[in-house]
Structure 1
Amino acid sequence: GCDDNINFGFRKSKDFLDARLRKKSDIRTLVKLHNNNAGRLAVKQFMRMECKCHGLSGSCTMRTCWMKMPPFSEVGVRLKEHFDGATKVIARNDGHSFMPDDPSIKLPTKRDLVYTEDSDDFCEVNAKTGSLGTHGRECNITSNGVDGCNLMCCERGQARKHVEVKRNCKCSFKWCCEVTCSTCIDIKEVYTCK
């Protein structure tokens, strides 16, 4: 096989994502350029070697190996870990670099993600942003995604309740052109954010 051409992808990504940004030098631009590069480095860091054996009857008299890009989902998981530990930064006086907002925090590496502004708190009601908060929102107890109770309920926990859900059941077709159904009631377990 052939290697995934990571260096070509690296260059094209820089051309596509960074070209217009390089003309500016404000803090937001510096952060975007830094984070774009951190994303490229994450892909490069998790490249893996894949090999295939060649030979009679399954023997491995010759082996061909190549470097392969990691699955996109794996890169996403790694970047999410970096996102959770991102460093808040402010511009240095030189206008071409940044430093941590908190002097007790070490300077971020090339692989770390950085940000300049705190995100709005979408857990609570906020008329300014139009956020209704997550109190009372239905959540998925088994999901680790954005619909999951752990994330959506902002560590406040969730309440469990049982609700009746009506559905059509025992449907039958009557000649001609009519379907009649009974109404069945199911009990469904529902979780809502506290």
Structure 2
Amino acid sequence: MEANHRLNCKCHGVSGSCAQRVCFRQLRRIDDAVMQKALKARYLAAKHVSVGPNKQLIAKTLTASGFVDEVVKASELVFSEHSPDYCNKEPHRGSVGTHGRCTLIDLQQQLNTNGTSYSDTSEYRIVLPCLK
């Protein structure tokens, strides 16, 4: 992330004369396109880890000969648990899933197929469909 720092300078002096210039490196804002691209790249390259015998983070890496344990670097993005899949029902996590719900896309398909128009669609909730 150090490559995503930006050099900022400020001038100090009487009436803005810039008698003294102070410069510092600052991390880019989260809404900066360069920062977003870097974060996405790190997210996609994140490694699933477990804790090794010496309390080191160990990632399993696939090689031609099979999986090999690899100690991850401090600069790498890691995760210890996979994210929950909110599309499928997982009661132990409190997720009811999205299967079987009426989505906006389902409603549009139903209206187009039946050739009917509904003035009251209050029975439908807008839920983003799970794309896989």
TM-score with structure 2 setting the length: 0.51
Check the 8 A contact 1:137/1:192 in 2, yes or no.
Answer: no
Counterpart amino acid of residue 5 in structure 2: M
Structure 2 Cα separation of the partners of residues 125 and 107 of structure 1: 34
TM-score with structure 1 setting the length: 0.38
Q: Secondary structure at the match of 2:49?
A: strand
- Structure with higher strand content: 1
Aligned residue in 2 for 1:72:
30
Check the 8 A contact 1:159/1:193 in 2, yes or no.
Answer: no
Structure 2 Cα separation of the partners of residues 121 and 127 of structure 1: 12
Q: Which of 57, 66, 72 is 1:98 aligned to?
A: 57
Q: Which of 124, 135, 144 is 2:88 aligned to?
A: 124
Counterpart amino acid of residue 129 in structure 2: C
Q: Secondary structure at the match of 1:128?
A: helix
Q: Within the alignment, does 1:86 sit opposite 2:46 as a pair?
A: yes
Percent of pairs with identical residues: 18
What are the superposed Cα offsets for residues 129-152 of structure 1, whole Å, 9 maximum, x if unpaired?
A: 22121233646xxxxxxxxxxxxx
Q: Within the alignment, does 1:193 sit opposite 2:129 as a pair?
A: yes
Between Structure 1 and Structure 2, how many residues are aligned? 99
- Structure with higher helix content: 1
TM-fit CA distance, 1:117: 2.0
Counterpart amino acid of residue 88 in structure 2: E
Structure 1 Cα separation of the partners of residues 93 and 106 of structure 2: 26
Counterpart amino acid of residue 6 in structure 2: R
Aligned residue in 2 for 1:112:
76
Unmatched 5+ stretches in structure 2: 11-20, 62-66, 112-116, 121-125
TM-fit CA distance, 1:87: 0.6
Aligned residue in 2 for 1:170:
none
Structure 1 Cα separation of the partners of residues 127 and 83 of structure 2: 26
Tell me which of the two structures has the higher relative contact order, counting C-alpha pairs closer than 8 angstroms and 6 or more residues apart: 1
Unmatched 5+ stretches in structure 1: 1-41, 53-63, 140-157, 167-189
Query: Cα RMSD (Å) of the superposition?
Result: 3.6
